[in-house]
Amino acid sequence: MTDRHNEILHFSKNWQQQLAEAFNKIDDLCDYLNLSPDDLPISLAALEDFALRVPLSFAASMEKGNPHDPLLRQVLPVKEEVQIYPGFSIDPVGDIQAVAQAGVLHKYQGRVLFINTGSCAINCRYCFRRNFPYAELQLTKQKEAAAIQYIREDSSVAEVILSGGDPLLLNDARLAHLIQQLSDIRHLKRIRIHSRLPVVLPARITDELIDILSQSPVQIVVVIHCNHANEINKRVIPACKSLKENGLILFNQSVLLKGVNDNAAVLCDLSEKLFSHGIIPYYLHLLDKASGTGHFEVAETEALKLIRQIQDTLPGYLVPKLVKEQAGAASKQYLFRPA
């Protein structure tokens, strides 16, 4: 069968099957992209450290034959990952310190983050999750009750952020139950869902999921994660449209990544494309300095220069807030354009 036929068949399957068929072998991904593994700076040590995982929907947006494709760069295990970069560590943002109890991160006033699952549909090489002891921390079904009790007992908590890993990897029943339980807490104003699935596995946005989210008694905010306009393909667009049309508020967060989006034109394109599909640019994060990610770093001075160029080009509401995470700080740290 041709690639084209394989793709049609693949995309006709449900999201769990599509996830099960995600690329997990370098050779298969290279074959699909018409690249030779020998022409890429692949590291087997890096691969062993953090597995390859790429859904076909995401890989399908990569340019065939381009070893420098900005989407490929986000997922390819490369030699630079095993180099030592000064200042990069296992827990750069102090998350381990902020664990209030299993599965619950309480770092900021009024907001609590739930680590619902340790897994994601895609393994992003730049992610601090690669070093995080998620298996121990994630909210199992048993621990979930205790986490909900924690929210119930702290009336200062106005918002619960479902995160991970990727919370939309929970099945519908589990998600519906969680939202139901949280909705019963009187002081809770919002549930926020941080998910990369609308972008990397849009098949997850089923009618059933939309029903669960749109029928929630508390307001739901969805923050997607997209770093480059090419990620917004013909499957992502209807998934976002469906969320949007059913009353969900959509924001996007990106990470500023060398060789992926460290360019004003690329970032402007991303903002424009997001907005044309009803998604508001929220944050542009500086890289968290997690071991294995040093080759993605963009210097702060360079980041500020890029933001200034975007500010000089786009309306203010299309300029994402440039932020960095600082261990122990009371909020994300905003980086401002120097006067």
Asked whether position 268 contacts ligand SF4 by CB under 6 A, the answer is no
Closest by CA position to 293, among listed 37, 49, 62: 49
Rounded CA separation 306/286 (Å): 12
124 is in an annotated binding site: yes
Between 123 and 271, whose beta carbon lies closer to ligand SF4? 123
What does DSSP assign to residue 272? H
Residue 129's binding partner out of ligand SF4, ligand PLP, none, with CB under 5 to 8 Å set by partner kind: ligand SF4
Q: Count of residues binding ligand PLP (CB under 6 A)?
A: 9
C-alpha separations of 39 from 27, 52, 118, 285 in Å: 12, 18, 32, 31
Is 289 near ligand SF4 (CB under 6 A)? Answer: no
Give the C-alpha separation, 140 to 144, whole Å.
6
The residue among 66, 57, 136 whose CA lies nearest residue 103 is: 136
240 marked among binding-site residues? no
113 lines the binding site for ligand PLP (CB under 6 A): yes
Q: Which does 196 bind (CB under 5 to 8 A by kind): ligand SF4, ligand PLP, none?
A: ligand SF4
Site string for ligand SF4, 110-149 (x = CB under 6 A): ----------x-xxx--x-x--------------------
Residue 306 binds which of ligand PLP, ligand SF4, none (CB < 5-8 A, kind-dependent): none
Tell whether 268 is in a known binding site. Answer: no
**Nearest-approach distance from CB 93 to ligand PLP, in angstroms:** 7
Alpha helix ranges (H) inside the chain: 3-11, 15-20, 26-32, 44-49, 56-59, 70-75, 134-137, 141-153, 172-183, 197-200, 207-214, 236-245, 264-276, 300-311
Task: Pick one of ligand SF4, ligand PLP, none as the site partner of residue 166 (Cβ within 5 to 8 A by kind).
Answer: ligand SF4
Closest by Cα among 137, 150, 136, 223 to 181: 150
Burial of 281 (0-12, 13-18, 19+ CB in 10 A): buried
At 268 the three-state DSSP class reads helix
| Total of chain residues touching ligand SF4, rule CB under 6 A | 9
Cβ atoms 251, 223 nearer than 8 A:
yes
- Asked if 105 is part of the footprint of ligand PLP (rule: CB under 6 A), the reply reads yes
CB 323, min distance to ligand PLP, A: 7
Smallest distance, ligand PLP to C-beta of residue 308, A = 22
Query: Residue 111 or 258: which CB sits closer to ligand PLP?
Result: 111
From the list 161, 178, 182, 205, which residue makes contact with ligand PLP (rule: CB under 6 A)? 161
> Of ligand SF4, ligand PLP, none, which one does residue 161 interact with (CB within 5 to 8 Å by kind)?
ligand PLP
Residue the block writes with tokens 């680590």: 115
Judge contact between 265 and 331, C-beta under 8 A.
no
Using rule CB under 6 A, residue 228 touches ligand SF4: no
| Residue found by looking up tokens 């490369």 in the block | 78
Beta partners for 104? 101, 114
Which does residue 124 touch among ligand SF4, ligand PLP, none (CB within 5 to 8 A, set by kind)?
ligand SF4
Q: How far is the CB of 149 from ligand SF4 (least distance, A)?
A: 26
Residues annotated within the binding site are 120, 124, 127
Give the interface with ligand SF4 as residue ranges (CB under 6 A): 120, 122-124, 127, 129, 166, 196, 225
Residue ranges of the binding site for [4Fe-4S] cluster: 120, 124, 127
Positions in the binding site for ligand PLP (CB under 6 A):
98, 105, 107-108, 111, 113, 161, 331-332
